[in-house]
Amino acid sequence: MEPQEESPSKQYLHIGRASELSGRDRVLYRAFEMLPGILSWVTLIGIVLLSIFAPRFAAYFIILFSLYWLLKTIYFSIHLRYNWKRLKHNLKVDWGDMLLNLKDEHIRHLVILPFSIESEETVRRSLQGLVDAKGEKKHFFVVLAGEERRGKEGREIAEKMKKEFARRFGVFLATFHPDNVQGEMIGKGSNIAYAAEEARKEILTTHSVPHQDVIVSAFDTDTICYPEYFNCLTWHFLTVENPHRVSFQPVPFYNNNIWDVPVLSRVVAVSSTFWQMIQQERPEKLSTFSSHSMSFKALYEVGYWQKNMVSEDSRIFWNLFVFYNGEYEVVPISYPVSMDANLAPTIWQTMKGVYKQHRRWSWGVENIPYVLFHFTKNKKIPFKKKLQVTYMKVEGFWSLATHPLILFILGWLPIFVGGRAFNVTVLSYNLPIVARSLLTIAMLGLVVSAIISLSLLPPRPKGKSMRHYIGMVVQWILVPVTMVIFSALPGLDAQTRLLFGRYMGFWITHKHVVKK
Amino acid sequence: MKPLSKLKRSIFLALLVFIFAVTLPVLLFYSTGYRLDGEYKLVQTGGLFIGIGESGASVYVDDKFLKKTSRFDQNTFVQNLLPGVHSIRVEKEDHHTWKKELDVLPKKVTESYPFLISKEPKVVLIEEGGRLFEEIRIAFATSTADTSLLEASPATEDIFGDSFVKQLGNMIIWQDGNALYARWAKGLDNIPLYFCNLEGLCQERLSVFASQIALRHFDFYPGNNRVVLVATGTGVFAVEIDNRSNKNFIPVYDERGALFRVHKGELYVKDRGSFYHVAL
């Protein structure tokens, strides 16, 4: 590794869970693991108890909370609308032109495309996306990162892809992550970390490419780039103050198959896009998610993605954050990449898939103990920054798991369990009226969502009637349902598992392809 | 195009925090019943809940028309009422008017459950010879002190000493001489408000009906444990258990000497030796 300033918490850099520690450290880490689940359950149980024993105060809290939610929705809508404008602007910009004034000949793109159970068609589609993207392809190093456990089939896919695409890029490398490596968890993290190291040895060292000139893009297998992605990324890399202390986050669209997926999967997918768009305007709250890019120099210095945990996409940001003593950020580039919305052969399997995918995303809660533990070890990170990050992380996961349940289910509880004395008060009668009115106003924001989502849709394919198009608008009335079933419940599920030390493994999202 | 600036975001945030700080107390005061009077003084108000349960009824409070109930909105909640006595009137075409005067307390909701009875209910003769005729004949042949021949009806029945008792849901009614009484089966648990006075003290039993002449039969109004049917020598009447202010006492079958039975949730009347089904 290249020389660098010693980080105080470096020895714990790749900690995955409490059981990897010992003594006081283990107890501390375990306590931090339990914290999110405890907070969420105390909140929910607290509201139930308050509704039974002090329904008046529960009603006050619910009115307060509904108002808070309405204003929060307005605040987020402002961010969403602004990012929508910025994103549309960025889609129109000729980023190639923007690069004319900059020296970018030395920049190389290392694109890592991991695949495990995905079909040949899915892999081919993503590689074709890279071919179609603008940019000097001889500067592209593409690594197709397979898993050895896929066996002969995986090697055949890699071989076919190599034949079809190798000549289209500067270098095309197929790697096969060995199975059953001690200390590793099966998943994307261990695969792309292996692929990155192979690329360093086989490509960067062989071709004497300096690490600081390489931008790594770690893509999910189904990622299809929009044409200007790499030009836009290069521009941001070259113009940002310190490109080796930032990651670059695109906006994940789920447009690859959006016309083919069931309505609930669609609403959840577009809601995820909207959340990322909102976060793009709040970069201090942004960590890397799904497909993202960064400097190879930073990635190499931190020792690649973690191999012993699930949420490697967001964890790499926190690895770098603690490694560089809090001097690491995410640059939101407000430029999209397109991926698959969850789709399985049947609607029920799709719904289960959406739930499991969101539980895996919610398992990002495992970053809370990691970050808090490092905050106790790393004295170089400013206290204010520690405080801000702690609040942001804890509040984020707490609200994810509790807010929809409070709004749509527990909010009505005082009326049902508050008892006769409460039920004859004006407050009891007004509680549903006030809460419902505030929620209704908040739901008007869905009109904005519907308009924005329509503008981001790919063209309506032949064979999809106007009914499907109208469905894309009407679908937004399902948001209360999706918020509870595919946001709060998987969030609470993940936190409860972490609370009781029932650690999750990596679950690969279905990428079922509809035959056209 | 640059991201949303921190300054703009801070301004939006400050503005929303300000709205929150201003709106929250207003919402909480409003929700608990506080209102501004004509002189912009804060006053405590109460409300009325009028649970009608059917459509097409016109609701008046203090002689002001409030609303007409519809299929999807069969109840009325009216608030902003100053504490004191307020009159309620519920009217429906071809039905007897239901009226009541009720106390409204600050920050409290007074509940009422009007019942509307047709002025001219549809009466159909039960022809002799059918199975229904036989069931009704047996029901009427059975004295109030002998229920063994009666088929199960929504109201369960039992005999306690000399008193004939009926129960529907948690409401128990029983006859004592020519008087009728009601009691709530679950003590104070969810006891209807008309058992209680303004101070919240609740009575164990309520006097529902008392007559100078013999009370020939009584039962719950089908499907409604707030209203009782009674047969006196002058006809069949519906009377509400709620005895706050005036008690609504409404004729259902206004023929001298008529008797009734509630059988399988339906009202049957025996008049001059013939049996009739009365559609309520």
Average pLDDT score over residue span A288-302: 97
Residue contact A67–B16, C-beta within 8 A: no
Q: Which residue of A has its CA nearest to B46?
A: A426
Beta bridge partners of A512: none
Half-sphere exposure of A257 (CA within 13 A, CB side): 22
Q: Which of A424, A436, A438, A439 to mutate to test the interface with B (most CBs of B within 10 A)?
A: A424
Q: Is the pLDDT of residue B153 over 60?
A: no
pLDDT, one tens digit per residue, over A239-256 is 999 999 999 999 999 999
Q: Is B43 on the interface with A (CB under 8 A)?
A: no
Please state, in angstroms and rounded to a whole number, the distance separating the CA atoms of residues A226 and B6.
29
> What are the CA-CA distances from residue A173 to residues A112, A147, A199, A230, A381 (Å)?
10, 14, 8, 19, 39
CB pairs under 8 A between A and B: 83
Tell me the pairing of strands A224-225 and A329-338.
Answer: antiparallel
Count H helices, E strands: chain A?
Answer: 20, 8
Q: Is the pLDDT of residue B157 over 80?
A: no
Distance from the Cα of B216 to chain A's closest Cα (Å) equals 36
Q: Is the pLDDT of residue A206 over 80?
A: yes
Half-sphere exposure of B78 (CA within 13 A, CB side): 20
Q: Which residue in the set B3, B109, B191 is minimally distant from A426, CB to CB?
A: B109
Distance from the Cα of B109 to chain A's closest Cα (Å) equals 5
Q: Which residue of A has its CA nearest to B191?
A: A420
Distance from the Cα of A342 to chain B's closest Cα (Å) equals 30
Please state, in angstroms and rounded to a whole number, the distance separating the CA atoms of residues A361 and A260.
23
* Average pLDDT value for chain B: 89
Residue contact B16–A428, C-beta within 8 A: no
3-state secondary structure of B12: helix
pLDDT of amino acid B80: 94
Average pLDDT score over residue span A440-466: 88
pLDDT of amino acid A469: 87
pLDDT of amino acid A508: 65
pLDDT of amino acid B151: 39
Q: How confident is the model at residue A468 (pLDDT cuts 50, 70, 90)?
A: confident
Tell me the pairing of strands B163-168 and B156-160.
Answer: antiparallel
Q: Which residue of A has its CA nearest to B6?
A: A282
Residue contact B3–A281, C-beta within 8 A: yes
pLDDT of amino acid A160: 96
pLDDT > 70: percent of chain B: 92
Q: Which residue of A has its CA nearest to B110?
A: A424
Residue contact A281–B13, C-beta within 8 A: no
Q: Which two tokens stand for residue A117?
A: 């159970």
Q: Is A74 exposed, middle or buried (0-12, 13-18, 19+ CB in 10 A)?
A: middle
Residue contact B108–A420, C-beta within 8 A: no
Q: Which residue of B has its CA nearest to A425?
A: B108
Nearest to A342, CA basis, from A358, A322, A364: A358
Q: Is the pLDDT of residue B161 over 50?
A: no
Q: Is B193 on the interface with A (CB under 8 A)?
A: yes
Q: Which residue has the higher pLDDT, B216 or A31?
A: A31
Q: Which residue in the set A283, A334, A427 is minimally distant from B32, CB to CB?
A: A427
Distance from the Cα of B47 to chain A's closest Cα (Å) equals 7
**DSSP states along A256-315:** TTTTTS-HHHHHHHHHHHHHHHHHHT-GGG----SSEEEEHHHHHHHTSS-SSSS-HHHH
pLDDT of amino acid B48: 97
pLDDT, one tens digit per residue, over A6-42 is 555 678 999 999 999 999 999 999 999 999 999 999 9
pLDDT of amino acid A97: 96
Amino acid present at B134: E
Q: Is the pLDDT of residue A174 over 50?
A: yes
Q: Is B1 on the interface with A (CB under 8 A)?
A: yes
Q: Which residue in the set B23, B108, B189 is minimally distant from A426, CB to CB?
A: B108
Please state, in angstroms and rounded to a whole number, the distance separating the CA atoms of residues B9 and A280.
13
Q: Which residue in the set A71, A78, A283 is minimally distant from B19, CB to CB?
A: A71
Q: How confident is the model at residue A1 (pLDDT cuts 50, 70, 90)?
A: very low
Lowest mean pLDDT among A314-318, B200-204, B257-261: B200-204
pLDDT of amino acid B164: 75
Q: Which of B32, B45, B193 to mutate to test the interface with A (most CBs of A within 10 A)?
A: B32
What is the model's pTM? 0.86
3-state secondary structure of A457: coil
Average pLDDT score over residue span A105-119: 95
Q: Which residues of B touch A98 (CB under 8 A)?
A: none
pLDDT > 90: percent of chain A: 85
Q: Which residues of B touch A424 (CB under 8 A)?
A: 108-111, 193
Q: Which residue in the set A63, A280, A429 is minimally distant from B77, CB to CB?
A: A429
Beta bridge partners of B98: B90
Q: Is B111 on the interface with A (CB under 8 A)?
A: yes
Q: Which residue in the set A281, A425, A428 is minimally distant from B4, CB to CB?
A: A281
Residue appearing with tokens 């509790």 = A402
Q: Which residue in the set B27, B110, B190 is minimally distant from A434, CB to CB?
A: B27
* Beta carbons of A442 and A69 less than 8 angstroms apart: yes
pLDDT, one tens digit per residue, over A480-500 is 999 999 999 999 999 999 999
Q: How confident is the model at residue B148 (pLDDT cuts 50, 70, 90)?
A: very low
pLDDT, one tens digit per residue, over A150-172 is 889 999 999 999 999 999 999 99
Q: Is the pLDDT of residue B247 over 80?
A: yes
Distance from the Cα of B44 to chain A's closest Cα (Å) equals 10
Lowest mean pLDDT among A55-59, B73-77, B173-177: B173-177
